[in-house]
Structure 1
Amino acid sequence: MTSNDLGDFLRAHRARLRPGDVGLASYGARRVAGLRREEVAVLAGMNSDYYARLEQGRERSPSPQILEAISSALRMDDAAREHMFRLAGAAPEGERPQPRETVTPALRQLLDGYPNAAAFVLNPATDFLAANALADALFSAFGKRDNMARMTFLDPAARTFFTQWGRAAEAVVAGLRHATGLDPHYRRLHDVVDSLTRASEEFAALWSSHTVHGKTRDGKEVVHPDVGPLDLMYQTFDVRGAPGQQLVIYHAEVGSPSSQALALLGSLHATRNRESSPEG
């Protein structure tokens, strides 16, 4: 983490845009990628020196009106806009408590109520807090099921497990970046980001892009060594009463080959567990 997260975030978004993207004519040689600071200031209707001070960290208390103008100028989506407001200290923090690291018995029971879906609970740092049997089976391809971000970037199995590894990696990093805006003082999240930044150049490059989103639904194509390709859909739900926890459910279309393969995977995993148990 840096002491000028807002400035870093603004620079990253400015670098993604070209003059033509925002209806401006391009002129002169450009020393850096993207828009010039002066162009952002014009689009936002503000003094260019003031905008420069924001990026440089010399101005740290922009008004909500200024932030709205910048989000419009830089074509931010809702997730990026929300994150920028939080970085600037302008979004209402309320009394949001630190994320809980334990799962209630009721939630664990709920996980087991999804026999045909892989269901698990993550904290904002993407640590696994709980998982049902089918989730254990699905992620058995990895050496250890402990932290989704670590698994994606540091476990070699991820490169073959995720059919579109680059897309999966980008989604994990964007989710972590979104979480830092919601829980900026959550120590575990900072530790995960710091350790992955040191351990993975790919993570460090994606982290520096300042992409933000908190997807709630998307497709996921994976290849499991036991049953082959699986075309899945995942959905994410915030756990009410446990701020920061997310219930994630991976499922396949009913009656599809992926649904049959997922059921077979669960059966294989259960058989192995019985055979390896002391009673087995």
Structure 2
Amino acid sequence: MGEATPLGEFLRARRETLKPQDVGLPEYGRRRVKGLRREEVAMLAGMSSDYYVRLEQGRESSPSAQVAEAVARALSLDEEATEHLHRLIQPPARRRDTADDLVSPHLLQLMDSWTDVPAFVLGPALDILAANAMATALHEGFAAADNLARMVFCDPEGREFHQDWERAAHSCVAELRAAYGHDPDSPRINRLADELSSASPAFADLWARHDVKSKTQEGKHLRHPRVGDLHIQFSAFTVNGAPHQQLVVYQAEPASPTAVAFQRLRSSAEQETARTLHNSDAI
């Protein structure tokens, strides 16, 4: 039997989430396996059971694009999960993690000029690489605003800050899985996954599902310890010149209670900046 591979782990996890009725198969009696059987996936994909077993066991690591599409259909993968499958079949050349930590000075200057909205830059492992004053004020309740996944799963403030914590947790892990698909050998992502799996059973359970979802545009309901409830829209942008970084910007509807709360947050951020400058001048 071959060693477990990212491809094999993904296929097994997705197979185990499906029931026969999900793919139009009859279910007879008590099943001894979780989810679909391997031979059922093979039948749906139009391939031999032995070949599919080799895929899951890591003994067949380079299937064709046609095979990948057939397996994706058999496992009812959506478009993003199918793209993830193709990346795992042909992973890119290893990248150095250090290249993902450098934020352009021009981007830093741009973010600092946005005094009305929180903005921050994320690395592939959801590390917060840079943040403007508003984003720093927004996350002031956390012990350390250094990594979104750690903030969600390991800091008690995470469950207070994210009012729909289950949704935030699922999205966070799915985004991390999407980044993992681009670089399964990334030391940073693997270290973080090991750390959080040990610290949080909730993270370990979600990580084992292999759900995949990149950060997109959607709403969030947050609760700040000083300014209260925030109903925000956020946008995520790929950074030109650093495609494995994302610029995240939070916005409020004009004239909404959240916009008023953002004004209070801005005032707090300005006071903190003035205090920091005063302290540095006094040294």
Question: What TM-score, normalized by structure 2, do the two folds share?
Answer: 0.91
Residues 144-203 of structure 1: CA distance to partner in whole angstroms, max 9, x if unpaired? 111111111111111101001111111111111110111233322222112112222211
Residues 88-131 of structure 1: CA distance to partner in whole angstroms, max 9, x if unpaired? 22x6x379775431111110112123222110001001111111
Mind listing any 5+ residue stretches in structure 1 that lack a counterpart?
A: none
Answering whether residue 231 of structure 2 is matched by residue 210 of structure 1, we say no
Identity %: 49
Equivalent position SS for 1:248: strand
Contact 2:94 2:185 survives alignment (8 Å): no
CA distance in 1, matches of 2:190, 2:228: 35
CA distance in 1, matches of 2:273, 2:81: 44
CA distance in 1, matches of 2:32, 2:185: 36
Once structures 1 and 2 are overlaid, which stretch shifts more, 98-107 or 152-161? 98-107
CA distance in 1, matches of 2:234, 2:192: 23
CA distance in 2, matches of 1:131, 1:24: 50
- Structure 1 12/185 Cα, relative in aligned 2: closer, same or farther at 3 Å? closer
Answering whether residue 36 of structure 2 is matched by residue 35 of structure 1, we say yes
Once structures 1 and 2 are overlaid, which stretch shifts more, 60-69 or 97-106? 97-106
Once structures 1 and 2 are overlaid, which stretch shifts more, 44-53 or 182-191? 182-191
Contact 1:96 1:243 survives alignment (8 Å): no
Counterpart residue number, 1:4: 5
Q: Which aligned segments of 4 or more residues in structure 1 are displaced greater than 6 angstroms?
A: 94-97
Residues 208-266 of structure 1: CA distance to partner in whole angstroms, max 9, x if unpaired? 11111102211111100101110011111110101311100111111111111111112
CA distance in 2, matches of 1:134, 1:95: 35
Contact 2:4 2:57 survives alignment (8 Å): no
The residue type paired with residue 112 of structure 1 is D
CA distance in 2, matches of 1:39, 1:215: 33
Residues 125-144 of structure 1: CA distance to partner in whole angstroms, max 9, x if unpaired? 11111111110110011111
Equivalent position SS for 1:121: strand
CA distance in 2, matches of 1:193, 1:96: 18
CA distance in 2, matches of 1:116, 1:104: 21
Contact 2:7 2:56 survives alignment (8 Å): yes
CA distance in 2, matches of 1:60, 1:181: 15
State the Cα distance separating 1:272 from its structure 2 match.
4.0
Instruction: Give the total of aligned pairs.
Output: 277
CA distance in 2, matches of 1:97, 1:62: 27
CA distance in 2, matches of 1:175, 1:161: 19
State the Cα distance separating 1:58 from its structure 2 match.
2.2
State the Cα distance separating 1:66 from its structure 2 match.
0.7
Contact 1:122 1:246 survives alignment (8 Å): yes
Once structures 1 and 2 are overlaid, which stretch shifts more, 169-178 or 266-275? 266-275
CA distance in 1, matches of 2:247, 2:183: 18
Matching of residues 50-65 of structure 1 within 5 Å: 50-65=51-66
Contact 2:94 2:186 survives alignment (8 Å): no
The residue type paired with residue 204 of structure 2 is A
